Structures are given as structure tokens and as C-alpha cells.
Chains A and B, each alone.
Chain A
């Protein structure tokens, strides 16, 4: 049995490598085709007015005159060694890896807090709504989630700033991410849309479990509703919920970019958005790769955790 799950993990890892490979190719192609000359950008960012010869010399030095495939391979090999190149513009000459690393923790902190807020609200609301299907409380929860998925997240952020930072002056409008007080608004903004989505998913998952035959059987045998729900339905619906949680990490990571920009929060997303505007492609490439890696590792962990959470999975595979 152990052997089997080990095999799945290996095949998953292999799949992950292929996907990462594809993503790396795509991002490289994208930046390769992108307008702007990195050599010129580098020189301009240093405040120079470069001559044609200087640009050409730097192009040669940066390897920009090599054929596309060679450039890609060189870049990929360097990436595998942890060298993601140097930034063209932002504090030019700084290694991209260390730039991103500096911003990694604030982004993780923000995402984790948002995740906690999301779980605290969505799990109880989703369960409540499912148990009381088609009763007033269900309608209220469904109405709220509908409202939640229809409001632009960044607008919620702006309104929160206007109310809590500008008018009430409870928290700073610009978040340094240093303390909890400045972290709370960005995290709430990020959690807002996700809570709505996840509540719906919790509700659906619990409902599905509630409609299983064994529930009817248990009811028929007179098992108390409380026991059915806490003893069987909820534990059984945890599995799909964990999968969905892993998948929603995607929108969480994507959401951090916008939220970080709104609050000028010193995270990776904000760095990447500025890098795109400044044609600082090494930063963009590294950011995309890192996020892809983080996302896939999380989902791999989710899959592996099945084996521990659900004994059925150990036999099935």
C-alpha cells in the first residue's frame, strides 16, 4: 500500500516538473517577444544616455544576441541553480532571487491571514446553510455569497480604505505589513471574495453528503440528526473541501497581486506588477515561476494528505 502511494507521488512530481517546464518556456517566450530592449532598459535605468555601441556591447554581454533556444536554455540552467538573473530597473543589478525572497514572507503572511479569515467565516456558514437547506438562514447565506461573488474585490478594498482608514482613521491606508493593524484591511479585502466562493463550495459539498443513502438509512434507524451530521456527514465532506481549498490557493495568490497594489503592500505581487510596468522581465519571469511552484507544491501536499485523512484512499489506489 505504501508502495502504491509512493508511486503516485512520484508520478505527480514528474507531472509537476513537466508543467513547470512548460510554464518556464511560456514565460520566457512571452518576455522574449515582448517589446523593449533589456540592454537599453538596463542602461537607461542607471541614468545613462547609452550610445548604440554601448547598447550593443551590453547586448552581447547579456547574451541577447544568441539564438532564442540558447537564451532559453542558458536562462533555465541558471534558474535551476537558483540564479534568476539580475533586475533591469528596480535597484538595478540586484539579484532577482533576493528581491523576491525579501517580498515572499509578507505575501505569505497576508495570504495566511486571509485564509484564516476565510475559513472562520465560510466553513460554519456553509455547513449552517446546507443543514438548513431552503430555510430562511440558507436564503440569507446564499444571498450574501451571491453578493460576495458579484462585487469586485478591489472595489471592496477601496471602500474599506475610505471607511476605516480615511474616515475613521482606525488603520493606516498604506500597509507596511509590519503589524497586525496594518495587515487587517488587506487580508479582509482578500478574504472577502474568497469567503463567498468557498462558502458556496462548503454548502454544496455538505449537501451532497447529506443526500447520500447512508444518511437516509441512519435517519430511518433513528440515529439522531446531530450524530449523523457531526459523526458522519461533516467528516466525510472534509475531503472535497480540502481539495477545493488547495485549488482556491490559485485565486488567493492571484488576489494578492491586486490587493498588494491597492494597499501599496510590500509583497511579491506588488513587486511583479511594478516590474511589468517597468519592463523588468527577469523579475516577472521569476515571479510567475515561483507562484506556479508554490501553487503546485500546495496542491501536491493536499493530494498526499488524502492518504492520511481518508483511509479509503489508501486502499483505492
Chain B
């Protein structure tokens, strides 16, 4: 217990932003409670484009939907999508990279050439094309962004595995008859996992921004889903009449991305003090 307290006291930034991060997640989970049961997808047209008031904290949009409820529910969409992308890219990239690094030769050549192809290419453009062509939906946007993100993890995992691949203790383990799955799980993966987790943690914020960008362009969330990027795109037309439609979803993205970026940075400082 005492040890734990020390840890949190020593890493204040991590603790503070960890708590904030948990609060964001809780807000997303308990969105119905937080918004007092207001439905974010229905509204009455007589209430349309009302400025912020005590009744509608953030005002209402063109369909009379409560913006506060939509922003809170938007956290759900954003968090689920961003975490899905990171987990998907992390899992696929790590498996591909570890396999490439461990087996080398043809496996390495095939996997890394595919990864090279994806990296030698502006990711956002490909994501736009993939998400757009597959049809607008959050799921497709997640797949598209993950598709252009996994090579980063694959390269990282491969280089980390290569660092220890030819160490004596690894050769010794192989010679003494360790099976391949055991080698991969007990030796290769652990050597790469810390750096990969740091990268994943630092990626969450960026992924949120990219997903919001795709939704903004109309290649992600579809109406009436409460999603911040989509809300900004819908609010654009009412920029002068109802600026709050642009202000609040934007602030929401910013705040949540800051929290997760800070969390990622402080996690890196804790796990990997060598890096600046």
C-alpha cells in the first residue's frame, strides 16, 4: 500500500491526468445519468438553434437536439473508436512485427514490404480513400485508420525483436529445445511490449483527431450519431447564427485529446526514462 502511494505521489502528472482520463471514461459510460436522460438523437424543431441557457447548457442544434447531451454522448463514440483503432493497429502490428523479426527471410520480406508500401504513403489520404469507398460508418473509419497505422507498430516491434534476436541467451533457449510459440511469447514479445505500449498510449489522442477529421469530411460517423467531428461539420453552416455549435464540440475534442496526450507522455516518462 505504501509503495503505491509513493508511486502516485512521485508521478504527479501521471496521477492527475490518469484521474482526468478515468473521469472522461466515466462520463462516457454514465452519459445517460450525466445528461439527466436527455436523448442526444432526438429534439423538437421548436427548440432549434437555441443559445446556451440553464435549460440547454450548451444550447441546441438545428434539429433542436440538446448539444450538451450530444457532446457527452460524443465521448462514447470517440473513445470507443479511438481505442478500437489503437488496439487493432497494436495487435496486428505487433504480431506482424514480432513474426517478421523472429523468422526473418521470406516472412520478414513479405511483411515488411507490405508495411513499407503503407508507410511510403500519406496515411490520411489512404484513410480517406478507404473509408470513403467502403462507405461512411464509424466501423469503416476505424478500419481505415488502423490500416494505415499498423505498419508503425510492425516496424517498431520488428526492430526491437531484432535487437535481442541474436543474443546468446536467445540462441541458448533455442538450442535447448524451446518451442517457437514459447520463444515468441516468453522472449520476443516481452522485449518489445513496453515500447509498444508507450507508443499506443501516445497514439490515442492522435487517433481521436484523425477519426474526428474523417467524420468531419463525412467518411466516418453518420447522422444522427453524436460524434464531435460530425457535429462540427453540421454546425459549420450555422457558424454565425449559432457559434456554440462549433465551440463546444471543438473544445470537447481538444480537452479529451490533451488529457490522453498528457497521459501518454507521462506514461512514457515513467516507463522509459531514457527518452527525453
Contacts and interface: CB of A to CB of B under 8 A. Distances in A.
A72 B209 CA distance: 35
Given A23-B121, A155-B232, A288-B129, A150 B205 contact: yes
B243 A154 contact: no
Contact of A158 (B113, B130, B135, B250): B250
Given A204-B276, A254-B124, A276-B219, A155 B253 contact: yes
A112 B254 CA distance: 27
B27 interface: no
Interface in B183-226: 205-206, 209, 212-213, 216-219
B154 interface: no
B126 interface: yes
Interface in A265-309: 272-273, 276-277, 281, 284, 287-288, 291-292, 295-296, 299
Contacts of A277: 132, 218
B258 A158 contact: no
B261 A150 contact: yes
Contacts of A15: 116
Given A31-B133, A166-B239, A273-B132, A291 B122 contact: yes
B129 A276 contact: yes
Contact of B258 (A150, A155, A257, A296): A150
B99 interface: no
B246 interface: yes
Contacts of A22: 113-114, 117
B134 interface: yes
Contacts of B121: 19, 23, 250, 292, 295
Nearest to A292: B121
Interface string A1-30: 000000000000001101100110011001
B61 to A, nearest CB: 15
Given A19-B116, A162-B243, A258-B213, A155 B250 contact: yes
Contacts of A139: none
A68 interface: no
A23 B229 CA distance: 28
Contacts of A250: 121-124
A34 interface: yes
Given A159-B250, A250-B122, A295-B122, A34 B134 contact: yes
Contacts of B130: 30
A158 B239 contact: yes
Given A151-B254, A250-B123, A295-B120, A257 B246 contact: no
Contacts of B205: 149-150
A124 to B, nearest CB: 20
B25 interface: no
Given A19-B117, A30-B133, A155 B125 contact: no
Contacts of B217: 257-258, 261, 273
Contacts of A231: none
Contacts of B216: 152, 154, 258
A273 B246 contact: no
A254 B123 contact: yes
Given A23-B117, A207-B276, A288-B125, A276 B132 contact: yes
Among A147, A254, A292: residue with most chain B CB under 10 A: A254
A63 B128 CA distance: 27
B236 interface: yes
A147 B239 CA distance: 23
B239 to A, nearest CB: 6
Given A22-B114, A258-B217, 13 more contacts: A15-B116, A22-B113, A30-B129, A31-B133, A147-B258, A153-B209, A153-B213, A154-B216, A155-B250, A254-B124, A254-B128, A257-B217, A276-B129
Interface of B: 113-114, 116-117, 120-126, 128-130, 132-135, 205-206, 209, 212-213, 216-219, 229, 232, 236, 239-240, 243, 246, 250, 253-254, 257-258, 261-262, 276
12 contacts: A27-B129, A30-B133, A150-B205, A152-B232, A152-B254, A152-B257, A155-B246, A158-B239, A162-B240, A276-B132, A276-B219, A295-B121
Q: Give 10 nearest A-B pairs by CB, closest first.
A: A254-B124, A276-B132, A250-B122, A155-B250, A22-B117, A34-B133, A150-B257, A254-B122, A150-B258, A253-B122
